[in-house]
Amino acid sequence: MNAKAVKSLAGDISLVENDSPKAETLLDAAWKAGKHAYRIGITGPPGAGKSTLVNCLAAEFSNAGKHTAVISVDPSSPFTGGAILGDRIRMNALSSRDNVYIRSMATRGSLGGLSMKTHDVCDILDGNDFDIILIETVGVGQIELDIAQAADVTLTVLVPESGDDIQAMKAGIMEITDIFVVNKSDRHGAEAMVLNLRSLTKLRRNYSTLPWEQPVIKTVATEEIGIDIVLDKLEQFEVMLKKHDNWESIRNERMKRKVLQLINETLSDSFWTKERKKYLNNELRLSEQTGKSPFRIAENLLSSLRNT
Ligand X SMILES: Nc1nc2c(ncn2[C@@H]2O[C@H](COP(=O)(O)OP(=O)(O)OP(=O)(O)O)[C@@H](O)[C@H]2O)c(=O)[nH]1
- Least distance to ligand X from the beta carbon of 256, Å? 31
68 binds Mg ion (CB under 5 A): no
- Least distance to Mg ion from the beta carbon of 132, Å? 18
Instruction: Identify whether the C-beta of residue 81 lies closer than 8 Å to the C-beta of residue 104.
Output: yes
Per-residue binding string, ligand X, 81-100, x by CB under 6 A, is: -----xx-------------
Which element (helix H / strand E) includes 101? Answer: strand 100-106
Helix residue spans in the chain (DSSP H): 3-17, 23-33, 50-63, 85-95, 111-127, 142-150, 163-176, 190-203, 227-243, 246-271, 274-290, 294-307
In order of 16, 21, 268, the CA distances from 121 in angstroms are 7, 15, 24
The backbone torsions φ and ψ at residue 245, rounded to the nearest 5 degrees and listed phi first, read 65, 10
Residues β-bridged to residue 100: 68
51 binds Mg ion (CB under 5 A): yes
Binds 186: which of ligand X, Mg ion, none (CB < 5-8 Å by kind) = ligand X
Among 132, 138, 155, 197, binds ligand X (CB under 6 A): 138
Q: What are the DSSP calls for 21-88, one per residue?
A: TTHHHHHHHHHHH---PEEEEEEESTTSSHHHHHHHHHHHHHHTT--EEEEEEETT-SSTT---HHHH
Among 220, 227, 234, 241, binds ligand X (CB under 6 A): 220
Among 46, 78, 113, 141, binds ligand X (CB under 6 A): 46
Among 34, 41, 49, 127, binds ligand X (CB under 6 A): 49
Which element (helix H / strand E) includes 154? Answer: strand 153-158
Which one, of 29, 31, 26, lies nearest residue 12 by Cα?
A: 26
128 binds Mg ion (CB under 5 A): no
Instruction: Identify whether the C-beta of residue 144 lies closer than 8 Å to the C-beta of residue 153.
Output: no
Q: Which of the stretches 2-10, 40-48, 110-118, 148-156 binds ligand X when contact is defined by CB under 6 A?
A: 40-48
Q: Which of the stretches 59-67, 93-101, 216-224, 292-300 binds ligand X when contact is defined by CB under 6 A?
A: 216-224
227 binds ligand X (CB under 6 A): no
Site size for Mg ion (CB under 5 A): 2
Q: Which of the stretches 51-59, 164-172, 177-185, 239-247 binds Mg ion when contact is defined by CB under 5 A?
A: 51-59
Per-residue binding string, ligand X, 168-187, x by CB under 6 A, is: ---------------xx-xx
- Least distance to ligand X from the beta carbon of 165, Å? 12
137 binds Mg ion (CB under 5 A): no
**How many whole angstroms separate alpha carbon 150 and alpha carbon 140?**
16
Interacting residues toward Mg ion by CB under 5 A: 50-51
Q: What residues make contact with ligand X under the rule CB under 6 A?
A: 46-52, 86-87, 138, 183-184, 186-187, 220-222
